[in-house]
Chains A and B, each alone.
Chain A
Amino acid sequence: MTTTTLSTEPLELASRLLELAEAAGADQADAVAVSSTNASTTVRKQQVEKVSESTARSVGLRVILDGRQATVSTSDVSDAALAETVETALELARVSEPDPFAGLAEPSEQARSTPQLALFDEQIPEIDGEHRLGQALACEQSAIDADPRIVNSGGATFSTNFSSFALVDTNGFAGAYADTSASMWVEVMAQEEDGQLRNAGWSTSERSLHRLDKPEDVGREAAARALRQLGASKASTCEVPVVWEPRMAAGLAGIVAGAASGEALYRKATFLADRQETMVASPLLTIIDDATLTNRLGSRPFDGEGVVTRRNALVERGMFQGFLFDSYNARRLDAVSTGSAWRSVGGLPQIGSGNLSIEAGQTSPEAIISEIDDGLYLTTLMGFGINYTTGDFSRGAAGIWIRNGELAEPVQEINVSGNLLEMFQRIDAVGNDAQWFGATSAPTLRMSRMTVSGV
């Protein structure tokens, strides 16, 4: 990490705030500061629709007085505002109640050096508006050119971000890192003969420009997805095998990571409670959380409490390996932090995953589909129908019906449902086609049976 990529401002700001808090009598405290510059260009029908560029910065303080905890944040970083922040935090902490588990991370678990994770692409801060515009135009144009039935567009956006994050605490931890990201997104509409539109979007998001999909490929993928929904109708209600395309399977990894939160365990609000080291899925399923991968969106050198990040196996060959912890929930449940704390300036550390990967299998997606006489190839999920306490899963869906081993007609306005524990047990094929979507990698998955609701 070079000094040209890491703005010193957040670290200085956080240190200044922490010093004020210590001087005012905070026993234990930490301060976090973020500076983030985002620039974005949106075009629609090849005309500029929106251009934006701004730098956001804010700073937050947590104080702990005899176990009484409070957090205060401000986007006004004047000396007067920082002094007020400290005063408010101490006032709030005094009227809070003691929590024996409240506290900073164990110094022995905190990072002593900053590993090189290639989180910063030097090119990104140098990119100008012309480049963003060119990428967005090319992306949308290739989608429009793909087929005469692509008649409308929701627009294409190219955006870039570079940020610095700093954390300091009264145990002596002081760390900072800078990272970048770039993303591109497009949505287009294909028209039915009766005029009705079918829409689809596609996107790419990475730490480095060279890793982004080409604008033309993103555009063509969006167009292909809109076109293949032409003629979609409702399926009949039935119980059939369901094939999850990689992007849908990536969502399942996120659900497992959410259910594996140590805070959800403490609240008993997860279907994985009491299931550590038991089989919760088919032996074909392995899911890994790893924030140490080079150049990935979910990577970082230390977590929101300064704890060293690491690789955490969540599910290995069907067996649930364990929960993700920050230091607070680890203390409450007699566990250790897994380096999974995320910290925003405005609140307490929250548990979250780094990069998630569902390990690829040996089977090609074509072979997975070819074994099905009658089933659903799932390409879209809608809504929030997941109950993490019971594992009940019921969501709106669209996709393509599988007949005699091949993708046949598109379907929409259907529901897929089941219980997540049963669904994971019913995974009977894992594809060899793992792909990255932001911070998650997943292959095609097949479940031997789910309920599909339709007409």
Chain B
Amino acid sequence: MSDTPADVIGFYSTQLGVDEAAAESVLASALGRGGSFAELYFEHKRSGSLSFEDQQVKSTQASLSQGVGIRVVEGDAIGYAYTEDLSLDAMRSAAATAAQIAHGGSGIDPVDVTADSYPADRYSIASPSTSTPLADKVELLRRADDAARAYHSSIARVDASMVDEEKRVLIARSDGRMVADYQPLLRFNVSCLSEIDGERRNARWGGGGRMGMPYFDDHTPESLAEEAARQAVLQQKAREAPAGTFPVVLAAGDSGILLHEAVGHGLEADFNRKETSNYSNRIGQSVASELVTVIDDATLNLSRGSVNVDDEGEVAGHNLLIENGQLAAYMQDRISSDHFGVAPSGNGRRQSFRHSPMPRMTNTYMTAGDDEPEDLIRRVEYGIYCKAFSGGQVNITNGDFVFSVTEGYLIENGQISAPIRDVNLIGNGPDVLSKVTGVGHDLEMSDGRWTCGKSGQSVPVGVGIPTVLVSGITVGGTQMRTGAGMSA
């Protein structure tokens, strides 16, 4: 069973000697030179990885990472220090380093720290994969390997891996709040190489979430491996993608990466507090087609991007970002919510105790519309249908964003036709979202495989979207094509 918050608090107290009294002592050091707020983020993470290639186990890895990150806030400025040594002396010394941000003076008085209880029920799992015998995991990898090779005779190589972690976090703050959470995370990956007459094509697939072994009941290693193999074989038939601006139909699910880049990052409150986002000062304004409603939702059951509490100790929520095309709210962390005078939205996240928190997405998706997915394809005379992706990136300030398509097709006369080679698409956030001319009723969340990077910090996230028609995005293919695309 996964730990309850009370179990995690007990773990810290009995295994690591970290309890309410220790937290109070370190917080007192943190506020020793003043400051308006201080917070301790304790992390104890065990992770494992198992990789399989050439039809055998290639390597097994395990790691333990533990420490505390100490933050002292003075206005909008922060002092930060961490230590892996959880002795009281070492923690107080790190706290004194973080305290250097404050300029002396009284600051606030440290208060009694009291463990807070809250419903931590978004990923209560019966059997964490971290306690599963290695031999059982090897069997899953072997099944994936067999299935990929059986899928097609051209599959020349299969690499499969499984990585998992269990993270116990404890957050203690100078306002007296102390919360704990147990956060499991599982990911299964398969990479396949298809080789026909010396022509090689590869593809990756995988999934996971904040789940235990029952993940594989619904997502068999065979199905994940066959999907990777299918995409690799398909690429053998792919032709050059066109160059120019064309209508694009985004398949439900992973295409949510478009939202993550086109609006998600731009709605993180730090960029808007600093007015460096092209969505700054636009709350209440139209930033997208009225067909577009976007939500960031940390509450989705077992999802890779879900959290019970964020890494600042706030209960993470279901936040409406864009409603029928109108900008409703930004994603907040503590410093930004103080700045804007709004409640924290539970989006303060960080990679580890070695990093200070900032506003981040959790699971970001577009709500379902009314269109039949097939109708959206039928409305395109010539364009692109996008199904699988390798990643994306955005420039927050000018709004330009890209995403790389690894499974895409031409649409010709309303029908999906030939597969195309890997291609990058580029658009401008508000411009592309204003060109959403159809939204399917088939909202689908990506199977958990996305990791988001910002300012050097990686956090697991989820994305989701129904089938969507965008009337024009620039497609970075190599095939010159005269004449513009059309869509109804």
Contact = CB atoms under 8 A, between A and B. Distances in A.
A387 B400 contact: no
Contact of A96 (B57, B198, B428): B57
Contacts of B391: 383-384
B14 interface: no
Interface in B68-102: 76-84, 94, 97-98, 100-101
A396 B402 contact: yes
Contacts of A249: none
**Secondary structure of the A contact surface, majority rule:** strand
Interface in A368-407: 382-385, 387, 389-390, 392, 394-398
Given A389-B202, A396-B393, A154 B274 contact: yes
Task: Give the one of B275, B424, B428, B477 with max A CB within 10 A.
Answer: B424
Nearest to A200: B397
A48 B404 contact: no
A452 B400 CA distance: 16
B77 A49 contact: yes
Contact of A152 (B193, B275, B356, B395): B275
Given A54-B82, A152-B274, A451 B243 contact: yes
Contact of A413 (B57, B390, B404, B426): B426
Interface in B298-318: none
Contacts of B59: 69-71, 96, 347-348
A418 B393 CA distance: 20
B404 A269 contact: no
B103 to A, nearest CB: 10
Task: Give the one of A54, A96, A397 with max B CB within 10 A.
Answer: A54
A64 B450 CA distance: 33
B404 A389 contact: no
B6 interface: no
Task: Sort chain B's interface into a size bin.
Answer: 35 or more
A390 B82 contact: no
Contact of A383 (B81, B159, B275, B404): B404
Nearest to A154: B276
B47 to A, nearest CB: 9
Interface stretch (A19-27, A191-199, A354-362, A433-441): A191-199
Given A47-B77, A70-B61, A199-B397, A56 B424 contact: no
B469 interface: no
Interface stretch (A72-80, A115-123, A290-298): A72-80
Contacts of B157: 267-268
B354 A56 contact: yes
Contacts of A237: 243-245, 480
B62 A52 contact: no
Nearest to B355: A52
B474 A414 contact: yes
B60 A383 contact: no
A415 B84 contact: no
Task: Give the one of B138, B244, B245, B397 with max A CB within 10 A.
Answer: B397
A51 B101 contact: yes
Interface stretch (A87-95, A203-211, A253-261): A87-95
B379 interface: no
Contacts of A71: 59-62
B474 A413 contact: yes
A412 interface: yes
A416 B477 CA distance: 8
B202 A382 contact: no
Interface string B461-475: 000000000000011
16 contacts: A49-B76, A56-B84, A58-B84, A60-B63, A70-B62, A85-B64, A89-B62, A95-B135, A96-B59, A152-B274, A189-B276, A234-B474, A268-B193, A382-B395, A451-B477, A454-B474
> What 6 pairs between A and B have smallest CB-CB spacing?
A415-B476, A385-B424, A383-B402, A396-B402, A199-B397, A52-B80
Given A44-B274, A58-B84, A73-B64, 14 more contacts: A52-B98, A237-B245, A267-B159, A269-B202, A348-B59, A382-B426, A383-B392, A414-B474, A415-B474, A416-B476, A417-B423, A417-B476, A451-B243, A453-B476
Interface of B: 53, 56-67, 76-84, 94, 97-98, 100-101, 134-135, 138, 156-157, 159, 193, 195, 198, 200-202, 241, 243-245, 274-276, 278, 354, 356, 390-393, 395-398, 400-404, 421-428, 474-478, 480
Interface of A: 44, 47-58, 60, 69-77, 81, 85, 88-89, 92-93, 95-97, 99, 129, 152, 154, 189, 196-199, 229, 232, 234, 237, 239, 267-269, 273-274, 346-348, 382-385, 387, 389-390, 392, 394-398, 412-419, 451-455
